Amino acid sequence: MLMSRIYDEADLARYKTDRADAEAKWRKMLQDINVPDSLMETFVKQVCDNVVTLPKMVGIDVIDTGFSQEQNFATSLVTDFVSLGIMELKGKHITLKSSKDKLKYTILREPGRWCLHCGEKLSDDQNGEMARLHIAMNHKGVASPDPNTPSGYEWLTYFECVLDESQHNRYRKGA
């Protein structure tokens, strides 16, 4: 998925000023200690990315939903977007509120451990003991359906979703 962020205009102006000031300050400081030009731009960018507060995001535009209806949303992105009011999480649905539309996703699997044998959502714990117990009790001696995941379970750190087909067709590039 390709999105464009929409920022608060006043805060964006503040950010641009703060960024320009910080870049000038760091360039001067690095020139004074004779840092080669080949390193200066990279260093200034990295420092300014960390010291200048980003502008407040107030929305998003969806540019392209990609080739497939399937979309994985990182838990951190969902948390940030929900706190900003850009996303809503209710039951088995995520609604992404773009400036033009509300994109409706159905959650197929949420973050956590999932059995690859039976598809069951497993109890979460710090080190997977409950997942291993489930495998031992319910699938003992049976090889994992996924040879790349021999434990028989996987740990998702994202929401595995699928977008409404008509919205996907409307927002994918070339549609």
Contact 86, 97 (CB under 8 A): yes
Query: For residues 148 and 164, is the Cβ–Cβ distance under 8 A?
Result: no
Distance separating alpha carbons of residues 111 and 161, to the nearest angstrom: 11
pLDDT confidence tier of residue 34, bands split at 50, 70 and 90: confident
Please say whether the beta carbons of 105 and 168 come within 8 A: no
Q: What residue segments make up the domains of the chain, in order of their start? A: 2-51, 57-110+158-171, 112-156
For the record, the structure tokens of 51 come out as 């010291």
**pLDDT tens-digit profile of 55-114?**
999 999 999 999 999 999 999 999 999 999 999 999 999 999 999 899 999 999 999 999
Confidence (pLDDT) at 32: 87
pLDDT at 40 over 90: no
- DSSP labels for 148-163? T-TTSEEEE-EEEEEE
Instruction: Check residue 97 and give its pLDDT.
Output: 96
Note the pLDDT of residue 175.
52
Task: Report the pLDDT averaged over residues 144-164.
Answer: 96
- Give the pTM: 0.80
Q: Are 51 and 21 in contact (CB under 8 A)?
A: no
Residue 69 phi, psi (nearest 5):
-70, -25
Helix (H, G, I), strand (E, B) or coil at 51: helix
